[in-house]
């Protein structure tokens, strides 16, 4: 299953990129093709995604739920909303094509102190290096995780951001340590067989080439937090940016190796959450 699914994923991503690239005028025969490397345009601000007060329709097997938490603003939007809603929607396109999971096709932002959070077994949070939870948010996240929820952390870099995240998680789960996940953990083979971690850079670094890290986050790490029964409650992707790879997967200049890996790991995490 993993081999055929990997091939389908690659063909999906290549197909989108080739379609967009083919819109450009072809050069004369014999002339060297030099594709311009362009900075991706920022997402238009008129589409801010689904309102927090708007509930998604019921009846779907899966909702890509994004954690809404208190933190500093990054530009014109809060840190929880980076890459939102485009990354969520792009990822869901791949999930619906490559699996038989009946997923709601749009984003689903939910506040950590919202009692409705327990309805959703999968939760995604990013830019947690700038997270500063209220007491109600810390309590809501604790209740969610101990009741069986699964949290995926993404897109935070370096020592300083790790320390901030670690301090916040100590408030949420003070009795549960953070540990490194081995490469033979079922999370990495539940759907796709992932045998090594790749560092996924932000979109600018991915397109321009060069270093893939930010700050002092030189090595990608996959860590986790387990409950008393050995269930993985939190999967922590540190020094990597899966969300940017989802968001820009259709860009013909964005390297396929990064978007391919990001989709594979993301789908594994969802399948794991729904089967454990």
pTM: 0.84
Please report whether residue 131 resides in a domain: yes
DSSP-derived secondary structure for 65-133? EEEE--B-EETTEEGGGTTTTHHHHHHHHHHHHHS---B-SS-EEEETT-GGGGG-SEEEEE-GGGB--
Domain presence at residue 18: no
Mean pLDDT of 87-114: 97
Look at residue 82 and tell me whether its pLDDT is greater than 50.
Answer: yes
Is the confidence at residue 159, as pLDDT, over 90? yes
Residue 16 located in a structural domain: no
Residues 6+ positions from 106 with CB-CB distance below 8 Å: 50, 56, 85, 88, 89, 92
- Write phi, then psi, for 66 (nearest 5 degrees): -105, 130
Q: What pLDDT does 6 receive?
A: 57
Specify if 241 maps to a domain: yes
Containing domain of residue 85, as a range? 57-275
Render pLDDT for 8-56 as a digit per residue (tens, 0 to 9). 565 566 444 433 333 333 333 333 323 233 344 444 444 677 778 788 9
Number of domains in the chain: 1
Question: What is the pLDDT at residue 3?
Answer: 55
Q: pLDDT (tens digit, 9 = 90+) per residue, 142-153?
A: 999 999 999 999
Task: CATH number of the domain at 95, please.
Answer: 3.40.50.12140
* Residue 127 domain flag: yes
The residue ranking higher by pLDDT, 275 or 3, is: 275
Residue 203's Cβ-count burial label (10 Å; 0-12, 13-18, 19+) is buried
Confidence of residue 212 (pLDDT cuts 50, 70, 90): confident
Query: 92 in a domain, yes or no?
Result: yes
In a domain, 3, yes or no: no
Q: Is residue 136 part of a domain?
A: yes
Q: Mean pLDDT of all residues in the chain? A: 86
Statement: residue 120 has pLDDT above 80: yes
* Terminal CA-CA length for the chain: 19
pLDDT confidence of residue 39:
42
Question: For residue 2, what pLDDT is reported?
Answer: 55
């Amino acid at each position: 299953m993993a081999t055929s699914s990997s091939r389908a994923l690659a063909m999906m991503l290549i197909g989108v990129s080739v379609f967009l690239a083919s819109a450009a005028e072809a050069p004369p025969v014999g002339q060297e093709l030099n594709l311009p490397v362009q900075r991706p345009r920022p997402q238009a601000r008129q589409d801010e995604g689904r309102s927090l007060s708007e509930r998604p329709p019921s009846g779907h097997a899966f909702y890509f739920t994004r954690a809404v938490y208190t933190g500093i603003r990054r530009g014109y939007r809060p840190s929880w909303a980076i890459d939102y809603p485009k990354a969520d929607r792009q990822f869901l396109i791949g999930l619906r094509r490559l699996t038989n999971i009946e997923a709601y096709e749009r984003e689903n932002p939910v506040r950590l102190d919202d009692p409705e959070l327990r309805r959703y077994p999968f939760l995604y949070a990013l830019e947690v290096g700038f997270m500063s939870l209220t007491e109600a948010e810390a309590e809501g996240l604790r209740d969610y995780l101990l009741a069986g929820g699964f949290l995926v952390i993404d897109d935070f870099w370096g020592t300083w951001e790790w320390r901030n995240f670690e301090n916040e998680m100590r408030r949420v789960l003070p009795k549960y340590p953070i540990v490194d996940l081995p490469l033979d953990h079922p999370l990495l083979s539940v759907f796709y067989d992932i045998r090594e971690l790749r560092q996924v850079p932000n979109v600018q670094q991915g397109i321009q080439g060069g270093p893939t890290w930010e700050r002092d986050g030189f090595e990608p790490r996959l860590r986790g937090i387990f409950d008393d029964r050995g269930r993985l409650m939190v999967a922590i992707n540190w020094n990597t940016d899966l969300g940017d790879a989802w968001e820009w997967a259709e860009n013909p200049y964005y390297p396929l190796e990064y978007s391919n890996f990001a989709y594979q790991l993301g789908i594994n995490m969802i399948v794991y959450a729904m089967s454990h």
